[in-house]
Structure 1
Amino acid sequence: MSNHNDPETPDVFRTPIEQVFVRTHLGEAPAIDAADWTLTVDGLVERPLELDLAALLELPQTRVTAVHECLGNPLNPDVPTRAVANLEWTGVALSAVLALAGPSAGARHLWLEGTDTGSFAGESGLTYLKDLPLEEGSAAVLLAHRVNGEPLPRQHGFPVRAVVPGMFGTNSVKWLRRITLAAERPEHLFTTRLYNRVLPGSDERVPAREIDVSSKLLTPRDGARVPAGVCELAGRAWSSTEVTSVEVSVDDGPWRPAVLEPRGAQPAWQRFALDHDLAPGPHRVRARATDAVGRVQPLAGTRNHVHEIRLTAGAEHEHE
């Protein structure tokens, strides 16, 4: 799994595409000519389809701004990566394409397959394949061809990718070429063997889909030197649902509630901020989020445990 030197997350509402993390499992991003691209819809459908880009663009278009988060390395799923962005996607609702194909009565699952092929974790001859329950996927998936108002860059899935708001990025298949409707889940490295986990309070191993409640401190930057005195400690929080509170602790002091922006109608991330009077010297700052279903970031030991940064406060006249 290639990470391509993740850039820092900027403290802005919409992440510039050049500052978005890039993930590939099966080698380099495929080079696809938009004029040759087609999307096949087959399996348990009444009318199998093959749509080119022009046909897809003739369908009703929609836009959604959503948080986009990497689960992390599937071989080390509990190690935090904190690779996250907030992006505006433009595309066609999958439901519009499925309406043309007509799912058969026995269809229960969507298989989403990318164009990329290669080897991963000792297995060769793979394509990138993910699956979703048909009802959930039909309601959520966007077939995106633009990001932040521009055509998808090659490394982010050009010409068309799936986007599944509220789910980890692993489910948002890039370089999409085929959607298959089936009665069962596919047996595959990226569906039933990797990208599965046991959630807190459960013994059942389930697909890694719904994103966790998380937060990330973004300003000041980790390792920064700042003037002593009042400093804004700020960042972004997100979840599969609305984040309802963020608390900040400095130097293992009490957890204090930050000012948190509401999420609004879009499944986007939310800014939080707390002003704190920093004495001269080193400081440890932590943030933890709680969401609308009561999930709280753990203090340690999980992929979404509380984020912390280290700062050094100095006198106003001091410089780095």
Structure 2
Amino acid sequence: MKFSGYGLVQNRDPLVHENRITNERDLFKVWHLGIPDIVDSSQWVLNLTGLVEHPLQFKLSDLQSLPQTSVTAIHECAGSPLNPKVPQRRIGNVVWGGVKLSDLLKEVNILSDAAYVISRGIDEGVYNNVYYSNYEKDLPLDKALDPNVLIALTINDEPITVERGGPIRLVVPGYYGTNSTKWLTDLIISNVRSSSAFTTKYYMDREMVDGELKETPVWGIQPNSIIVHPQNGQTVKLEEITIWGWAWAESAIDVVEVSVDGGETWQQTNVEPRSNMEWQRFNYTWMPKSVGEYCIMSRAKNIEGFNQPITLKRNQVTRVMIFVEQCSDL
């Protein structure tokens, strides 16, 4: 059965759990053009063509026979390209397994004028009232050569399902999920960016800078964070509590601050160092001054000095409203 149109399936909220690794069943599933019919994955072929000396084809069995590796990484949806500034925070932390894309690129001998790797999936359908024969994205060649970028065959040590983009999908740790093309059939080495609407019209941030329009591809994940405890709407006792959550970005998070007064003042938290491409846990011990309602916020800064914005963007700072009540006298 083929589903058409933009869709999302998310059974549970992985952020409310303390587990570092997100269960596959809890990770969001999202698509633009529908889930394609895949009758026999053994017949699947990945083509590697374009500005190369030796174009190659890889069957699923070929990829399975190559040296395998894994990367533990955040996987975040960029949100709806129709409302790109609205925060959605569909995020998980999973273990991808497969073949390094850089290993395949070495086999084809890339020509000197190459600058991008265009990825194409087999999915087709209608998005925003327009029919597309496939889903297509691109990556800068330097990013494609990153050893963390995979032709993924597994997630959390299990084969990637068709609903998840299997049997073969691209995984680009550190980039928003829209760049990790599902149902991958083609990798095309190019000296120009893809002309697909999903690179030229959608997933292109636009803002006016000094009177001129600036366009930025939605590639690298910007600093973001989420408060896991306490949860929004929760009532807690008037006693010392630990505020904790997850922070993440393409590059490592250097600082996470929290505010317990709606952003008037900020306090630095303890942030664990990053391992691989994972999210990082932060925590802060807080003693409320009195009973009442509090607005708790978190904001992260990466090692490059970029902060989560207060203004409306996909990585806008998070806010949690809680109520502190008096401890009972028992």
Query: By the TM > 0.5 criterion, same fold?
Result: yes
Distance 1:46-1:20 versus aligned 2 partners, 3 A rule: same
Residue in 2 aligned with 1:14? 21
Secondary structure in 2 aligned to 1:116?
coil
Maintained 8 Å contact 2:237/2:325? yes
Q: Of the candidates 48, 63, 79, which is equivalent to residue 41 of structure 1? A: 48
Q: Distance in 1 between matches of 2:59 and 2:31?
A: 24
The partner residue of 2:243 within 208, 225, 233 is 233
Q: 2:110 & 2:37 partners in 1: Cα distance?
A: 30
Partner residue in 2 for 1:242: 252
Alignment of 1:137 with 2:130, yes or no, is no
Where 1:223 maps in the other structure, the secondary structure is coil
State the shift of 1:187 in Å. Answer: 1.1
Among 310, 314, 317, the residue aligned to 2:325: 314
Same amino acid, percent of matched pairs: 34
Q: In the TM superposition, what are the counterparts of 1:269-308 in structure 2 within 5 Å?
A: 269-278=279-288, 279-308=290-319
Tell me which residue corresponds to 1:154: 162
Q: Which amino acid aligns with 1:122?
A: N
Alignment pair present for 1:26 and 2:33 = yes
Change (3 A) 1:64 1:228: same
Verify: 1:109 aligned to 2:116, yes or no: yes
- Residue 8 of structure 2 aligns with which residue? 3
How far the C-alpha of 1:289 sits from its partner, in A, is 0.8
Q: Which consecutive unaligned segments of at least 5 residues does structure 2 have?
A: 1-5
TM-score scaled to structure 2, two decimals?
A: 0.90
Aligned residues: 317
SS in 2 for 1:136: helix
Contact preservation (8 Å) 1:11, 1:219: no
Tell me the equivalent position of 2:178: 170
Q: Mapping of 1:49-88 within 5 angstroms?
A: 49-88=56-95
Q: Distance in 1 between matches of 2:42 and 2:238?
A: 58
Taking the aligned partners of 1:169 and 1:200, their CA distance within structure 2 comes to 26
Question: What do you get for the CA RMSD once the two structures are aligned?
Answer: 2.0
* Structure 2 letter corresponding to 1:256: Q
Q: SS of the counterpart of 2:124?
A: strand
8 A contact 1:248–1:258 mirrored in 2: yes
Structure 1 residue runs of 4 or more that deviate by more than 6 Å after TM superposition: 199-202
SS in 1 for 2:7: coil
Q: Which residue of structure 2 aligns with residue 120 of structure 1?
A: 127
- Shift of the 296–178 alpha-carbon distance from structure 1 to 2, 3 Å rule, reads same
Alpha-carbon deviation of 1:51? Answer: 0.9
Distance 1:151 1:191, change over 3 A: same
8 Å CA contact 2:208–2:214 kept in 1: the answer is no
Give the letter for the 1:305 counterpart. Q
1:219 is aligned to 229
1:143 is matched by which residue type in structure 2?
A: I
Which sections of structure 1, spanning at least 5 residues, go unmatched? none
| 1:197–1:300 CA distance, 2 compared to 1 (3 A) | same
The answer to whether the Cα contact below 8 Å between 1:6 and 1:83 also exists between their aligned partners in 2 is no
